[in-house]
Homo-oligomer: A and B are copies of this chain.
Amino acid sequence: MKSEGKHLPEDRFFDPDPAVRSVASDLYQEAACAPIVSPHGHVDPRLFSDPNATFGSPADLFIIPDHYVFRMLYSQGVALESLGVPRQDGDSVEQDHRKIWRTFCEYFHLFRGTPSGIWLTDELAAVFGITEKPGASNADRLFDLIAEKLASPDFSPRRLFERFNIEVLCTTDPATDTLGHHQAIRQSGWKGRILPTFRPDGVVNFDAPRGAWRANVDQLSEVSGIDVVDYKSFIRALEQRRAFFKSMGATATDHAALTPAAVELSPVEAEATFQRALRGDRNGADAARFTAHMLMEMARMSVEDGLVMQLHPGSFRNHNDIIFEKFGSDKGADIPVPTEYTRNLLPLLNKYGNDPRLTLILFTLDETTYSRELAPLAGHYPALKLGPPWWFFDSLNGIARYFDQVMETAGLYNTAGFNDDTRAFCSIPARHDVWRRASANWLGGLVARHIIDLPDARAMMQELTVALAKRAYHLD
């Protein structure tokens, strides 16, 4: 993407050693212009279905929906209400977006040395041409500058999609979604390639937040046209939805779980467990076992329909009850827990891990598993690929640790490139840029230490930029 006006330092994030920096810089130059492939994320397709959609105010764009940003202010005592984060009970929160923006600018120092700080700085510079550091003194001026741009047609989501040079963007959509916005995008004639991803968490997890499971199952019946009255019809309905998602261009599914446990229940037990849940006779053990069983089922379906399977385990969601009660999910209070893959995935890998039809992409929030479990597993099972550093670890240090701890054992070719995993659309170029710079820097270090030579480094850089992701996600 071409940035407006002033520039950030050309060689930022590279090792200051001249030998490393020079190779890294060369490798990065080639990668910088490559299109963006975004195979996993949470951008709202609504932004693109309506040709007149806008990003709203600067606070709408940068603060109110972004838990990466507001959690940091909250941790230092700033109330979420004062940042305009909507309450579940509809009680009033700050409506003056200029005031919200001012608070954000006053606390901008909190982001020093953080990935959010890097993305925000890059986004301001590259998208809005602003290279000043936000603070109390320039808050109002910056607000006006950004607001003015956001109001112009050049800053509509579709125009930015094109300007960002995005080749393909995958969203994440509940299994019960009718994909109306995706339909609308297709029918609009606009050429942006935006694909859905099948995420069945709400219907496979009896313990879905706020007791939503039953309602989700009813919705599943409705959208699939298959009356879910037992386990068999449930499975048929899911297969129907997967086929529908696939017809809408989906190439992948996504699964969250507290643990990566995979356990196949007998048909009788699966049916009995499902019936208990339908009757509202739920318990934690049933929920955990059924989720583990559905992971097996989803792997089976992936083998059959070819959808790439993603697994994102290990996040203890909604850790802070008060915040969850007041503001709901995704408010910066999801905290990782220790996660075990070797034993948990044993049944799944034994059944499907050698099958060339399956691609299973694993993520982790427990970095101890990189070198101990994930890299050895990915370096053996043909079906496995390792996803890029996730969430808190999508950062310069997080990426460096990933390269350090994964690559020697897994090998580059058993990894899945990058995904930005973001709902903040305008941060996408910044996030891919950090990955590309970090990749170039890693390879520069390998070349400078004669671990690989330059032709190998060039080939590896192309893989990291887009090729690995396109192959892993069947987007080529």
Interface residues of A (CB under 8 A from B): 8-9, 11-17, 19-20, 71-72, 74-77, 109-115, 117-118, 133, 316, 319-323, 332-338, 340, 342-343, 346, 349-350, 353-354, 356, 365-368, 371-373, 375-382, 384, 392-393, 395-398, 401, 404-405, 407-409, 411-414, 445-446, 448-453, 456, 459-460
How far does the alpha carbon of A408 sit from the alpha carbon of B397 in the complex, in Å?
8
Q: How many copies does the complex hold?
A: 3
A19 and B20 contact, CB distance less than 8 A: no
Quick one: closest B residue to A453, CB to CB?
A: B133
Given contacts A366-B372, A372-B368, A376-B336, contact A452 B411 (CB under 8 A): no
Query: How far is A342 from B319 in the complex, measured between Cα atoms in Å?
Result: 8
Contact A13 B113, beta carbon cutoff 8 Å: no
Q: Which of A115, A367, A379 has the most CB of B within 10 A?
A: A379
- Interface pair A450/B17, CB less than 8 Å apart: no
Do A343 and B316 touch (CB < 8 A)? Answer: yes
List residues of chain B with CB within 8 A of the CB of A349.
319-320
Assess the B393–A371 pair: CB atoms within 8 A: yes
Cβ contact within 8 Å between B12 and A450: yes
Distance in angstroms from A52 CB to nearest chain B CB is 36
How distant is A65 from chain B, measured CB to nearest CB, in Å? 17
Q: In the docked arrangement, what's the CA distance between A378 and B398, Å?
A: 17
Q: Are B405 and A76 in contact (CB-based, < 8 A)?
A: no
In the complex, are the beta carbons of A113 and B75 less than 8 A apart?
no
Contact across chains for A110 and B372 when beta carbons are under 8 A apart: no
Whether the Cβ atoms of B413 and A380 lie closer than 8 Å is: no
Q: Are B381 and A411 in contact (CB under 8 A)?
A: no
Q: Is the CB–CB distance between A408 and B380 below 8 Å?
A: no
> In the complex the two chains form, is A13's CB within 8 Å of B449's CB?
yes
CA distance A11 to B451 in the complex (A): 11
A373 to B365, CA, bound (A): 9
- Residues of chain B contacted by A109 (CB below 8 angstroms): 413, 456, 459
A114 touching B71, Cβ below 8 Å: no
The CB with the most chain B CB atoms within 10 A, among A356, A368, A376, is that of A376
Do B12 and A451 touch across chains, with their CB atoms under 8 A apart? yes
Which of chain B's residues have a CB closer than 8 A to the CB of A336?
Answer: 342, 372-373, 376
Q: Are A322 and B337 in touch, CB under 8 angstroms?
A: no
A8, A354, A375 — which one has the most chain B CB atoms within 10 A of its CB? Answer: A354
| B450 close to A13 (CB less than 8 A) | yes
B381 touches A75 (CB 8 A): yes
* 9 nearest A-B pairs in the assembled complex, by CB-CB distance: A12-B450, A16-B19, A16-B448, A9-B450, A395-B408, A392-B409, A336-B372, A335-B342, A368-B368
Chain B residues with CB below 8 A from A392, complex form = 371, 375-376, 408-409
Q: In the complex the two chains form, is A411's CB within 8 Å of B75's CB?
A: yes
For the complex formed, measure the closest distance between the CB of A276 and the CB atoms of chain B, giving whole angstroms.
26
In the bound assembly, the distance between CA atoms of A148 and B409 in angstroms comes to 32
- Min CB distance A109 to B, Å, is 7
**In the assembled complex, how far is the CB of residue A207 from the closest CB belonging to chain B, in whole angstroms?**
16
Contact A382/B75 with A8-B450, A320-B350 known, Cβ cut-off 8 Å: yes
Return the contact of A322 from the options B321, B354, B365, B414 (Cβ within 8 A): B354
- Contact: B112 with A412, CB < 8 Å? yes
Q: Are B335 and A414 in contact (CB under 8 A)?
A: no
Given contacts A16-B448, A450-B8, A451-B118, A408 and B396 within 8 Å (CB-CB) = yes
Q: Report the minimal beta-carbon distance from A434 to chain B, rounded to whole angstroms.
A: 10
How far is A110 from B159 in the complex, measured between Cα atoms in Å?
Answer: 39
Q: In the complex where A72-B411, A321-B350, A382-B75 touch, is A112 in contact with B16 (Cβ < 8 A)? A: no
CB < 8 Å neighbour of A396 from B382, B414, B451 = B451
Chain B residues with CB below 8 A from A460, complex form: 112-113
Q: A71 — which chain B residues lie within 8 A by C-beta?
A: 379-380
A75-B382, A113-B452, A382-B75 known; A335 vs B15 contact (CB < 8 Å) = no
27 of the cross-chain contacts (CB-CB < 8 Å) are A8-B450, A16-B17, A16-B445, A17-B17, A74-B380, A77-B382, A111-B411, A112-B459, A113-B460, A316-B342, A316-B343, A320-B350, A320-B381, A322-B354, A332-B379, A332-B380, A334-B376, A335-B373, A335-B376, A336-B376, A338-B338, A338-B372, A366-B368, A376-B392, A392-B409, A395-B409, A401-B405
